[in-house]
């Protein structure tokens, strides 16, 4: 059994498919190879659990799903499970190529949500490709669309995760020195109906799922890797400035976009306040430097000085 500390890494969907790139398999494979290089470096000092996003990928599956008219479209929870297998396979293969002695295992993961979660009535989770204003009249009229920067994207419900159902299996795999890929796309969202589980049409925020998983595993650190170099004050203005070290108490005085950085900050604060561990946010290329305090934003419990 490894004596290395445990690190939960949340890899953003936009780190796997960069903003503006077409949804091509070969591009995703190249980006995943870059991610595997960074994870290989981190694995020297950490026992890694890897969570990944799926926003672009699940949106593409939904489009392909609706294009085939011979059957009814598959529900969103099944599409999330499909992306777990697809992205998990690509990550497993890339990690094997960069870490031949590492056993990477992908776990199809279910995440329990509350059927009464208000998020089911207020969709705000971006999925799928970006659209220009002139394309909007041609989109499915049942979709809910919201602005995303200078473009527009489909949004779906994103309930809060209550429990990671496969945590005991993930913990056992970690004990046996496997690098575990799990909670892909935030996990497959399910609700309880009596003693039965039922999939539900939503996409759980992968950062909130990663924070909950890190808490349940008693991990030492949570690292959220995205396409931003850090958390910024006055983001997207001439006055923007990167935050290096900050407490949750200080972060709670700042408003962040709930469609992008907001959930990442919330996830980090939830983890550090409950565990007194450390959490950090930054760019994939800076992964090791973020943990070493040279790049990105590190977040500490409110009582930290």
Region of 167 on the Ramachandran plot (φ > 0 left; ψ -120 to 50 alpha; else beta) = alpha
Per-residue pLDDT of 17-76, as tens digits, reads: 777 788 888 988 888 998 999 999 999 999 999 999 988 888 888 888 878 888 888 899
Name the active-site residue from 13, 55, 59, 185. Answer: 13
Question: pLDDT-derived band of residue 1, with 50, 70 and 90 as boundaries?
Answer: low
pLDDT at 134: 95
Alpha helix positions (H), the chain: 13-16, 25-42, 55-67, 76-98, 167-175, 206-216, 248-251, 261-275, 287-291
Select the highest-mean-pLDDT range: 118-132, 136-150, 263-277: 263-277
The Cα 122–Cα 48 span in angstroms is 34
> 6-116+159-219 — its CATH code?
3.40.1160.10
Name the active-site residue from 12, 14, 55, 128. Answer: 14
pLDDT at 101: 86
Rounded to an integer, the average pLDDT of 160-178 is: 96
The Cα 104–Cα 174 span in angstroms is 10
Active site residue 14: yes
Rounded to an integer, the average pLDDT of 99-104 is: 89
Asked whether the predicted pLDDT for residue 255 surpasses 70, the reply is yes
Region of 74 on the Ramachandran plot (φ > 0 left; ψ -120 to 50 alpha; else beta) = beta
> Residue 112: CB partners within 8 Å, gap ≥ 6?
161, 162, 163, 164, 165, 190, 191, 192, 197
Region of 276 on the Ramachandran plot (φ > 0 left; ψ -120 to 50 alpha; else beta) = left
Asked whether the predicted pLDDT for residue 305 surpasses 50, the reply is no
The one-character DSSP state at 100 is T
Active site residue 146: no
Asked whether the predicted pLDDT for residue 304 surpasses 60, the reply is no
pLDDT at 259: 66
Name the active-site residue from 53, 264, 277, 282. Answer: 264
Beta strands at 151-156 and 125-131: parallel, antiparallel or unpaired: antiparallel
pLDDT at 15: 65
Asked whether the predicted pLDDT for residue 14 surpasses 70, the reply is no
Asked whether the predicted pLDDT for residue 148 surpasses 80, the reply is yes
The Cα 53–Cα 10 span in angstroms is 8
Share of the chain above pLDDT 90, in %: 65
The Cα 44–Cα 291 span in angstroms is 13
Q: Domain limits of the chain?
A: 6-116+159-219
Alpha-carbon radius of gyration of the chain: 18
Name the active-site residue from 31, 88, 206, 282. Answer: 206
- Global pTM value: 0.90
Active site residue 206: yes
Mean pLDDT of all residues belonging to the chain: 91
Active site residue 162: no
Name the active-site residue from 12, 31, 65, 125. Answer: 125
């Amino acid at each position: 059994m490894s004596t290395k500390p445990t690190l939960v890494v949340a890899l953003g969907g936009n780190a796997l498919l960069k903003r503006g790139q077409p949804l091509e398999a070969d591009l995703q494979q190249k980006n995943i190879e870059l991610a595997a290089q960074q994870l290989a470096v981190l694995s020297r000092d950490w026992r890694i659990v890897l969570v990944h996003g799926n926003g672009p990928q699940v949106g593409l599956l939904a489009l392909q799903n609706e294009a085939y008219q011979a059957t009814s479209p598959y529900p969103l929870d099944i599409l999330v499970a499909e992306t777990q297998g697809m992205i998990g396979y690509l990550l497993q293969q890339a990690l094997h190529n960069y870490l031949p002695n590492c056993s990477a295992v992908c776990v199809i993961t279910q995440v329990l949500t509350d059927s009464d979660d208000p998020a089911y009535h207020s969709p705000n989770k971006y999925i799928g490709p970006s659209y220009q204003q002139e394309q909007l009249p041609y989109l499915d009229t049942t979709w809910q669309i919201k602005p995303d920067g200078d473009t527009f994207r489909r949004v779906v419900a994103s309930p809060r995760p209550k429990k990671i159902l496969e945590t005991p299996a993930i913990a056992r795999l970690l004990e046996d020195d496997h690098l575990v890929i799990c909670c892909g796309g935030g996990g497959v969202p399910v609700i309880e109906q009596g003693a039965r589980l039922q999939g539900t049409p939503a996409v759980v925020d992968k950062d909130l799922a990663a924070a909950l998983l890190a808490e349940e595993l008693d991990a030492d650190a949570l690292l959220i890797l995205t396409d931003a170099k850090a958390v910024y004050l006055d983001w997207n203005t001439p006055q923007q400035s990167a935050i290096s070290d900050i407490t949750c108490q200080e972060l709670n005085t700042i408003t962040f976009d709930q469609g992008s950085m907001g959930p990442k900050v919330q996830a980090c604060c939830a983890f550090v306040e409950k565990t007194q561990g450390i959490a950090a946010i930054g760019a994939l290329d800076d992964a090791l430097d973020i943990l070493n305090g040279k790049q990105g934003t590190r977040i500490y419990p409110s009582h930290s000085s």
